[in-house]
Structure formats: structure tokens, C-alpha cells
Amino acid sequence: MTQITLALSKGRIFEETLPLLAAAGITPSESPESSRKLIIGTNRPDVRLIIVRASDVPTYVQHGAADLGIAGKDVLMEHGGEGLYQPVDLNIAKCRMMVATPVGFDYEGAVQRGARLRVATKYTDTARLHFAAKGVHIDLIKLYGSMELAPLVGLSDVIVDLVSTGGTLKANNLVAVEEICQISSRLVVNQAALKLKHGEIQLIIDAFRRASGV
Ligand code: PRT
Ligand code: MG
């Protein structure tokens, strides 16, 4: 029997992947939210899930430790996507990559004056490309979370972060001033695994594609 390993992160990606798994006839035997197990079996003896940090999904798949995975476009842009086949945009965990500033900060003015901007973000590659394309000089400040705090305490002028409802920005007196790109999660597949286990993996790709309506 060919064993298939799918890498997922817990939280929103796991929740939104459940209906896609169901469409492929896969039901996890427990929830990663309540279980501490990092390897989770399913109703199918040939399919198992591994639970990893969202930003680690491309790494597990790239090295073949997982055959498939689900990762946000934000994560894939930072990782580079090397060695990964990305057959389906699953249209889940949608949000937008935005530039945000404190309310009242004159972003357009700063950009027009050619001012040097201090940018705090977890998404340093994405931010570097975005501002380079605009011809804006920046000092990048790498953070691992809670980016919204940085401009409030003078660590940065602006942040680059994901926004879905806008509630977090609002609660911290920040405002989105520019969209960098739309984000959703994609199915990623190890290219060697796709050749070696083609039949099994293709069935999962097809089921996910039908279920995500793309
Ligand atoms: O949480 P952890 O540090 O383990 O990793 P992670 O934050 O990368 O993972 P997780 O599970 O939180 O997010 C997984 C994926 O979901 C991301 O890679 C995105 O592709 C996608 N996604 C969709 C989001 C959001 N929406 C989102 N709103 N990821 C994060 N957020 C955060 C955002 O960074 C901000 O802090 O939610 C906050 C804003 O939300 P609103 O609703 O207040 O605008
Ligand atoms: Mg998170």
C-alpha cells in the first residue's frame, strides 16, 4: 500500500481544509486542536496528516517528508516555492497582504517626498520586492508576530501584514494604506512524489480541485 502524507497547520487552515478532505474521502481520526499528536491518522489507512507550523509546510513538502501540503500564498512567497508543484488555488484562508500605518500618518506624502521608511514585518522578502518596485527606500525590521504593535511604540513607520476583517488594525488605531496582493492557500505537491505515487496523489488533487470550485 502506498502511504500518502499531507502537511497541514492547525487553526484556520485545518478548519477550512476539512471539507476538502471530506471530498477526497478523508476524515481525520482526531482534531489537532484537542490532540497533542503531530501525526494524525485518518479513516484511510494509506493517508496520514502531519501538523506543522504554517510557515514550515513548504519545507516539509520540498524535502519529501510530506507528499502534499496546504500553505498560504504569503508563506509560499517568502519560501520561494522551490521544488514545489502548485496545482490548485484552494480559495481558503483568504485575506490580503497590506501596508498599514498609524491613523493620520501621511503615507502618500512620505512616498512622494522619497522619505526612507522603516517597515516592520514577518514578510521581509515580500516587503522588499514591493517597495523596490515602487522605488521606495526602506529599512526592514524583521518581526515574528504582533506586527501591529511596532508603529505604536516607534519601532517602525509602517507594517506589512495580513488583513482579513480589519479588526486588528482598527483596535490598534492603524489603517491599511495599500494592498500588496490577495492571499489564499494553495495545495503544494512534492514533484518526485507526484511521479512515484501519481495515481494516488492525482486523485487527491482532483478531489480538492472539484471541492474548491476552481
Ligand atoms: O500563528 P503562527 O505563528 O503559528 O503562524 P501563522 O500566523 O503563519 O499561521 P496561522 O494559522 O495563523 O495562519 C495560516 C495562514 O492563514 C496564513 O499563512 C495566511 O495565509 C492565512 N490567513 C488568512 C491569515 C489571516 N487570514 C489573518 N488574518 N493569517 C494571519 N492573519 C492574522 C494577521 O497576521 C493579523 O495579525 O490575523 C490578524 C488580522 O486579522 P483581522 O481579521 O483582524 O484583519
Ligand atoms: Mg497566526
Query: Which pLDDT tens digit goes with each residue over 147-168?
Result: 999 999 999 999 999 999 999 9
Residue 105 and residue 82 in one domain: no
Average the pLDDT over 132-146 and give the result: 97
Beta carbon of 5 within 6 Å of any ligand 1 atom: no
Residue 193 and residue 132 in one domain: no
| Structural contact between residues 200 and 4, judged by C-beta atoms closer than 8 angstroms | yes
Average the pLDDT over 170-187 and give the result: 98
Residue type, 63: H
| Structural contact between residues 9 and 52, judged by C-beta atoms closer than 8 angstroms | yes
Q: Angle, nearest 10°, between helix axes 12-23 and 198-211?
A: 110
Residue 138 and residue 152 in one domain: yes
Ligand nearest to the CA of 93: 1
CA 55 – ligand 2 centroid, Å: 10
Ligand nearest to the CA of 164: 1
Residue 126 and residue 57 in one domain: no
Residue 42 and residue 59 in one domain: yes
Residue 204 and residue 178 in one domain: no
Residue 15 and residue 114 in one domain: no
Integer Cα distance of 87 and 75 in angstroms: 16
Query: Which helix (DSSP H) or strand (DSSP E) does residue 62 occupy?
Result: helix 57-62
Site of grid cell 516587503? 127
CA 135 – ligand 2 centroid, Å: 30
Residue 38 and residue 117 in one domain: no
- Residue 119 domain boundaries: 95-183
Residue 37 and residue 59 in one domain: yes
Atom 34 (ligand 1) nearest CA: 162
Average the pLDDT over 127-131 and give the result: 98
**E strands, the chain, where?**
4-8, 39-41, 47-51, 68-72, 84-102, 117-121, 138-142, 158-163, 174-190
Q: For the domain that residue 116 is a member of, what is the CATH number?
A: 3.40.190.10
Beta carbon of 74 within 6 Å of any ligand 1 atom: yes
Residue 79 and residue 158 in one domain: no
Residue 136 and residue 201 in one domain: no
Domain count within the chain: 2
Ligand nearest to the CA of 69: 1
- Inform me whether the pLDDT recorded for 213 exceeds 90: no
Beta carbon of 95 within 6 Å of any ligand 1 atom: yes
Site of grid cell 503531530? 38
pTM assigned to the model: 0.96
